[in-house]
Amino acid sequence: MNSEIAIRTENLTKAFGGNVAVNNLNLKVKKGELFGLVGPDGAGKTTIMRLLAAIMEPTSGNAWVAGYSILTEGELIKEEIGYMSQRFGLYEDLTVMENIMFYADLYGVPARERPPRVERLLGFSNLTPFKERLAGNLSGGMKQKLGLACALIHTPRVLFLDEPTNGVDPVSRRDFWKILYDLLKEEITVFVSTAYLDEAERCTRIGLIHKGTILTVDEPSSIRESLQIPMVEISSAKAKVISDVISTIDGVINVSMYGDRLHVGIKEKGIVDQVLTVIRGQGVEIEGYREIVPSLEDAFIALVDREEGKRP
């Protein structure tokens, strides 16, 4: 395996009965990259994480993590990775320090190496003032940072994070991502799954996944630009009312609603006037409209529609 590739999958597939959770996944993640697996709940993100962490066997195909095969070298993979699941196993009746030391024992970190590692992990996660606090008394964001510290105590080469900021407040999410950026400076490969498209923008590259199938893999900016359709944003207090009407207009490719704003993908700019005329014909007031660059969410919706045959 190429020494610059941290993760590689080859036709990786996982089925549960008749349900294919991961469909023929072919993917390469570079060493030192922050790669995001992006998709809604049920898309297959957690299953992929478990396959790559060698805690679940594939139905077919193979994958290599840090140079080791998930089929034959699973125990070696576990020595090289950190894995933070959605429900990371913190012990709420232990203190912050006791949790970290427990995972140091679990990973076999030599006693002489522990003090500098623990001090460093507490420092960059801003947990030093709370090291004697019970984990059960920490906020959601602090629990996530403690979970990350525990996953990093043995200095893994690859770090798997399964929706690490789900349910965490915006400030804690921002702080968490700052920590991830710091890890990249140490050439740790970070593989993170998320349903938040704003978080996807923070990744080096992302893979958009839908129903177990990767729709595309690229830099976030390249995915947005690849949509290559004109798009306008229309603001109206009755956005929900007019959304269904607009979607029936010939030349409108897709319509997405964001509160009181609609993002309308169109075949050509000349269709805008027709769209506005139809809206006004419904007696709906338009508060404003402008041409916009498609967002990552717009691109994802368009790719899903294409996958399901709803658009060319």
Same domain, 149 and 280: no
Same domain, 166 and 271: no
Report the distance separating Cα 99 and Cα 305, nearest Å. Answer: 45
The confidence band for 253, taking pLDDT boundaries of 50, 70 and 90, is confident
What distance, in Å, lies between the first and last C-alpha atoms of the chain?
37
Q: Is the pLDDT of residue 49 over 80?
A: yes
Same domain, 108 and 238: no
- Structural domain boundaries enclosing 40: 5-218
Taking CA atoms, 39 is separated from 42, 262, 301, in Å, by 8, 21, 11
Report the distance separating Cα 2 and Cα 91, nearest Å. Answer: 39
Q: Tokens 């420092």 identify what position?
A: 123
Q: How many CB atoms lie within 10 A of CB 311?
A: 15
Over residues 295-311, the mean pLDDT reads: 80
Last residue of a domain, one of 165, 185, 218: 218
Report the distance separating Cα 126 and Cα 103, nearest Å. Answer: 19
Same domain, 122 and 171: yes
pLDDT (0 to 100) of residue 1: 54
Q: Is the pLDDT of residue 48 over 70?
A: yes
Same domain, 91 and 46: yes
Report the distance separating Cα 303 and Cα 308, nearest Å. Answer: 9
How many domains are contained in the chain? 2
Whether residue 39 is contained in a domain is answered as yes
Same domain, 97 and 241: no
Helices 114-124, 140-152: inter-axial angle, 10-degree rounding = 150
CATH number of the domain where residue 137 is located: 3.40.50.300
Handedness of CA 238, 244, 249, 251 (dihedral sign): positive
Tokens describing residue 269: 């700019």
Q: Is the pLDDT of residue 207 over 70?
A: yes
Tokens describing residue 281: 């014909």
What is the pTM (predicted TM-score) of this model? 0.86
Pairing of strands 68-69, 60-65: antiparallel
Whether residue 310 is contained in a domain is answered as no
CATH number of the domain where residue 282 is located: 3.30.70.100
Whether residue 75 is contained in a domain is answered as yes
The confidence band for 310, taking pLDDT boundaries of 50, 70 and 90, is low
Q: Is the pLDDT of residue 312 over 70?
A: no
Over residues 205-231, the mean pLDDT reads: 91
Same domain, 31 and 160: yes
Same domain, 262 and 122: no
Report the distance separating Cα 308 and Cα 300, nearest Å. Answer: 12
Strand order in the sheet with 252-258: 252-258, 261-266, 231-235, 288-291
Residue of 166, 194, 190, 164 whose CA lies nearest to 43: 194
Identity of residue 297: E
Same domain, 195 and 257: no
Q: Is the pLDDT of residue 43 over 60?
A: yes
Q: What angle do CA 293, 296, 297 make, to 5 degrees?
A: 110
pLDDT (0 to 100) of residue 160: 97
Tokens describing residue 309: 């045959």
Whether residue 198 is contained in a domain is answered as yes
> How is residue 95 annotated by DSSP?
B
Bigger pLDDT: 238 or 190? 190
Same domain, 57 and 173: yes
Q: Is the pLDDT of residue 211 over 70?
A: yes
Average pLDDT, the chain: 91
The DSSP annotation for 104-125 comes to HHHTT--GGGHHHHHHHHHHHT
Same domain, 202 and 234: no
pLDDT (0 to 100) of residue 269: 81
